[in-house]
């Protein structure tokens, strides 16, 4: 407080209140606080009234000291005030942070509330659907089989047996749709039906018995059998009469018909009995199938020729010689003899025309050998064979591997529809990659023609069109030639290449005729270490990613399985046998299962569907509330392959907490060292299964485990770090490309320009890609079965040899089956976590091994199945400017 001079003066003279002086002095001292004391004194003398100067020096000193004391007190108070100000400032900052945190918590809780509302709405829809559903849940068919041996019936009269058909001569009561098609094999050593003087090759008989023992349909209980197999000797012409119990010495040689009737389950007329002929001699038929048995003796892929180059040295080749003794050695009625003579004359005309074609000035090369210098004519049956093979098997194989097409003649007798020689030449051609051209193809039938689409493999040409043959072959483009060759190799590998595949195919064809489903495919049922082991769970962790509502939180919902047990072979039977299918096994689901039309979900077939905006569509809010798309609702399974990186693994599992549509997490424990009993597994709201692998192998990434309960599988490395929105975006994209690999890290195969003889693995930035690595990718569970049940063992062995390349192998498999490239999503380049222990991919030899893998896998497949793509999937509306009241599908993608 500042007092006027008058007040000071009056106080000095009238009141003697000398205490006012320090205040006045303090006012002036505060003005010059930063100067020294002499300056203070000088200025004070200039400003203090003259009356105050008269004060005694001692009194003035006392006053100044008092002022200094007051100054120190004031400064102390100022320091306290500043300290409190700083404290208040810190408190204000803390309160500001708390306000922001509360705002975030409010947003977080609002997001959770939205998710819960969505979850409740979805649960209510699911409950209504469950109440309305009146069909039972489907599962693998339970076997309902017969329980008695066939009743003994009287043999059919001969006139009726000749007209015997499946509807009149087959006991369907033993083969119900749910029977599983049990097949009983008569032991040929115990029940021999071979006539005296005839025998069955011992080695082949033993091989067939052993091979049939591997077939899942084989039963040792004759009471439940649907089909009874009888191994017989040599049949010259028609086996159908024997099936019907006809005793005909003219048609059957080597079979003791009486012994057939004495078989314990013959039942009087031989119903449901099938005769397997093991003869290696020449057979022919005018009504039934001929099955030729072959065996490669090694890996099937090693027997096959490479599919490229598409066009080979010779456009067309033929090696064979007409049997000149054929007509003389087989006297026939005059009408047949005339027909045979006409065929012989036509064959001579064909030979003359082809020889002239080879001598013409065309740029195409031909190899024709109509006069064998070395004939392989063992065990010729001159009654049926009108052509003799030329050269040895190795010499023929050499020519076939150089031929784009190979010529095969139909049997000379028009009544015959197949012969062993014809089948053998077709098999030779398919194995060598030469496309068979059958002259007289309009009069013959090939094995398994009821299920195999031979027109996609063989060119059937009437003999009279031989003059148009060259024009036809030249008109076929490279793409179609490769399709012929690929389809031929598929059929040869799957159905013809070995005794095992031949017998499995025979059983499958018989089962297909009865429309009985195959046995369900085996799962690799691996328990979690043992039946009592349960991982310890740590308390729930705080949700890490709550920036947006991404979908409902639902209890685990397993994908429906085995829904098409009885309809698959009816609606897609040809695809099952000739394309992506496997007719030997029944799978829970397929990536090629058909889709309903968009309007069906609103007109009587809406169970399970979750259309966006209940069918009206919408932006981000409505998008997050429902899966939408063309398929019913579903979830996905995360599979993590790990090896002794416990903390890295636990962090990766923890990040999955709160992830919508997550069904379960499966950890494949590749290490021989078991996890510590004290290891705390995070509680993420869904089951976490820990599977102990039998051995350390990268192939274990694709084990078809029995606890995979969804069609969609997200395969991730234990050090991969993906955000929730990225995972769900990938899941939604995969639902539109269910038959492909859909994922994040893209790679491509590049041609080696230095050697010009192979492929290189490349991970550089590129505008094209051909692989998506399975360290962070979605794929269908079906491909995990194919990886272990169908993929050649040599591929998995190479993966184990290098401890590398399993992701490349899966890309080869899927591209080979679908003939489509993978789908890459978003622009993420890396997913490795900083500070993680070193991974296999950082080894110096990693890329060299991957180069070798690509070239080896190409040899196994016979060609390069990987396809290039310049396409990448990004979220809809990710760059679209939308109104403020709308939300993007994904805010941060």
Instruction: State how far the Cα of 309 lies from the Cα of 469, in Å rounded to an integer.
Output: 22
Name the strand (E) or helix (H) holding 638. strand 636-642
Cα separation, 746 vs 762, whole angstroms: 10
**Alpha-carbon separation of residue 254 from 50, 240, 246, 318 (angstroms):** 156, 15, 15, 34
Helix H, strand E, coil C: the string for 363-383 is CCCEEEECCCCCEECCCCCCC
Largest CA distance in the chain: 170
State how far the Cα of 642 lies from the Cα of 560, in Å rounded to an integer: 29
Quote the crossing angle between the two packed helices 20-31 and 57-132, to the nearest 10°.
Answer: 70
Percentage helix, strand, coil, to 5, in the chain?
A: 40, 15, 45
Pairs from 470-477 (Cβ < 8 Å, separation ≥ 24): 470/316, 470/357, 470/362, 470/364, 473/315, 473/316, 473/404, 473/405, 473/437, 474/315, 474/364
Name the 3-class secondary structure at 321. strand
CA distances from 614 to 112, 456, 606 (A): 21, 45, 11
The kind and range of the H/E element at 779 are strand 776-780
The SS3 of residue 90 is helix
Annotation says 807 is catalytic? yes
Q: Which residues are CB-contacts of 4 (< 8 A; sequence separation ≥ 6)?
A: none
Q: CA triplet 214, 216, 218: central angle to 5 degrees?
A: 85
Q: What is the DSSP letter of 833?
A: P
Q: Which residues contact 36 (CB under 8 A, 6 or more apart)?
A: none
Helices 420-432 and 393-400, interaxial angle, to 10°?
Answer: 50
8 Å CB contact between 26 and 67: yes
835: which residues sit within 8 A by CB, 6+ positions away? none
Which entry of 201, 523, 807, 843 is annotated as an active-site residue?
807
Contacts of 70 (CB under 8 A, 6+ apart): 22, 26
Task: Tell me the C-alpha distance between 639 and 705, whole Å.
Answer: 10
- Residue 461 pairs in a beta bridge with 439
> What DSSP character marks residue 304?
S
Q: Residue 511 contacts by C-beta under 8 Å, 6 or more apart in sequence?
A: 181, 217, 518
689: number of Cβ within 10 Å: 18
CB 522 within 8 Å of CB 466: no
Catalytic machinery residues: 807
């Amino acid at each position: 407080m500042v007092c006027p001079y008058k007040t000071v003066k009056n106080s000095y003279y009238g009141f003697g209140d000398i205490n006012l002086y320090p205040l006045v002095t303090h006012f002036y001292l505060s003005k010059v606080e930063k100067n020294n004391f002499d300056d203070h004194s000088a200025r004070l003398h200039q400003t203090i009234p003259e009356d105050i100067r008269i004060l005694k020096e001692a009194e003035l000193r006392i006053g100044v000291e008092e002022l200094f004391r007051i100054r120190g007190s004031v400064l102390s108070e100022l320091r306290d005030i500043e300290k409190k100000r700083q404290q208040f400032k810190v408190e204000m900052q803390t309160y500001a942070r708390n306000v922001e945190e509360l705002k975030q918590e409010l947003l977080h809780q609002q997001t959770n509330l939205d998710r819960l509302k969505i979850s409740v709405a979805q649960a209510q829809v699911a409950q209504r659907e469950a109440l309305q559903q009146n069909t039972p849940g489907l599962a693998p068919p339970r076997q309902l089989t017969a329980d008695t041996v066939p009743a003994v019936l009287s043999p059919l009269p001969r006139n009726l047996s000749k007209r015997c058909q499946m509807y009149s001569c087959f006991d369907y009561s033993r083969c119900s749709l749910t029977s599983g098609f049990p097949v009983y094999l008569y032991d040929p050593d115990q029940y021999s039906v071979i006539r005296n003087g005839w025998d069955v090759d011992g080695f082949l008989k033993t091989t067939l018995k052993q091979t049939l023992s591997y077939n899942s349909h084989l039963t040792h209980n004759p009471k439940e059998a649907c089909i009874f197999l009888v191994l017989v000797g040599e049949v010259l012409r028609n086996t159908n009469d024997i099936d019907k119990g006809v005793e005909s010495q003219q048609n059957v040689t080597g079979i003791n018909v009486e012994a057939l009737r004495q078989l314990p389950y013959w039942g009087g007329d031989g119903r449901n009995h099938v005769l397997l002929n093991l003869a290696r001699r020449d057979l022919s038929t005018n009504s039934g199938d001929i099955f030729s048995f072959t065996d490669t003796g090694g890996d099937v892929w090693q027997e096959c020729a490479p599919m490229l180059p598409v066009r080979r040295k010779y456009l067309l080749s033929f090696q064979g010689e007409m049997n000149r003794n054929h007509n003389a050695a087989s006297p026939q009625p005059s009408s047949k003899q005339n027909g045979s003579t006409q065929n012989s004359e036509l064959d001579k005309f064909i030979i003359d025309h082809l020889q002239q074609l080879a001598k013409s000035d065309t740029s195409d090369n031909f190899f024709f050998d109509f006069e064998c210098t070395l004939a392989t004519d063992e065990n010729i049956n001159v009654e049926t064979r009108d052509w003799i093979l030329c050269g040895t098997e190795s010499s023929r194989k050499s020519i076939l591997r150089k031929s784009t097409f190979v010529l095969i003649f139909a049997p000379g007798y028009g009544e015959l529809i197949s012969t062993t020689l014809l089948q053998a030449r077709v098999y030779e051609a398919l194995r060598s990659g030469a496309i068979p051209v059958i002259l007289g193809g309009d009069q013959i039938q090939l094995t398994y023609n009821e299920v195999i689409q031979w027109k996609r493999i063989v060119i059937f040409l009437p003999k009279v069109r031989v003059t148009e043959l060259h024009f036809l072959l030249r008109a076929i483009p490279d793409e179609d030639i490769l399709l012929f060759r690929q389809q031929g190799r598929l059929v040869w590998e799957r159905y013809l290449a070995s005794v095992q595949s031949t017998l499995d195919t025979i059983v499958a064809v018989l089962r297909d005729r009865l429309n009985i489903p195959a046995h369900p495919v085996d799962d690799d049922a691996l328990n979690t270490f043992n039946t009592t082991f349960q991982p310890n769970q740590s308390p729930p962790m705080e949700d890490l990613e709550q920036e947006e509502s991404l979908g409902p939180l639902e209890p685990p919902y397993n994908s429906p399985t085995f829904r098409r047990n009885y309809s698959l072979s009816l609606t897609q039977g040809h695809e099952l046998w000739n394309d992506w299918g496997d007719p030997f096994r029944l799978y829970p689901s397929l990536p090629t299962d058909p889709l309903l039309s968009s309007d069906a979900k609103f007109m009587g077939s809406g169970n399970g569907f979750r259309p966006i905006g209940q069918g009206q569509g919408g932006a981000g809010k409505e998008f997050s509330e429902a899966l939408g798309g063309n398929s019913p609702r579903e979830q996905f399974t995360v599979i993590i392959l790990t090896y002794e990186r416990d903390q890295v693994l636990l962090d990766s599992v923890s990040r999955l907490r709160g992830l919508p549509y997550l069904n379960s997490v499966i950890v494949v424990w590749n290490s021989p060292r078991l996890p510590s009993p004290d290891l705390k597994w995070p509680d993420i709201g869904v089951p976490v299964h820990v599977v102990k692998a039998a051995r350390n192998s990268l192939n274990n990434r694709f084990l078809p485990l029995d606890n995979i309960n969804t069609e969609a599988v997200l395969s991730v490395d234990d050090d991969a770090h993906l955000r929730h929105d990225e995972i769900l975006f990938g899941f939604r994209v995969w639902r539109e490309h269910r038959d492909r690999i859909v994922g994040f890290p893209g790679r491509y195969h590049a041609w080696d320009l230095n050697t010009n003889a192979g492929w290189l693995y490349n991970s550089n930035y590129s505008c094209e890609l051909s692989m998506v690595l399975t360290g962070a990718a979605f794929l269908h569970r079906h491909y995990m079965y194919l990886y272990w049940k169908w993929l050649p063992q040599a591929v998995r062995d190479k993966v184990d040899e290098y401890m590398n390349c399993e992701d490349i192998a899966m890309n080869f498999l899927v591209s080979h089956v679908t003939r489509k490239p993978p789908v890459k999503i978003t622009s993420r380049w890396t997913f490795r976590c900083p500070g993680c222990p070193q991974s296999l991919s950082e080894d110096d030899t990693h890329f060299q091994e991957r180069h070798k893998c690509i070239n080896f896998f190409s040899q196994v497949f016979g060609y390069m199945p990987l396809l290039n793509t310049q396409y990448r999937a990004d979220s809809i509306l990710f760059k679209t400017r939308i109104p403020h009241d709308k939300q993007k599908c994904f805010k941060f993608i």
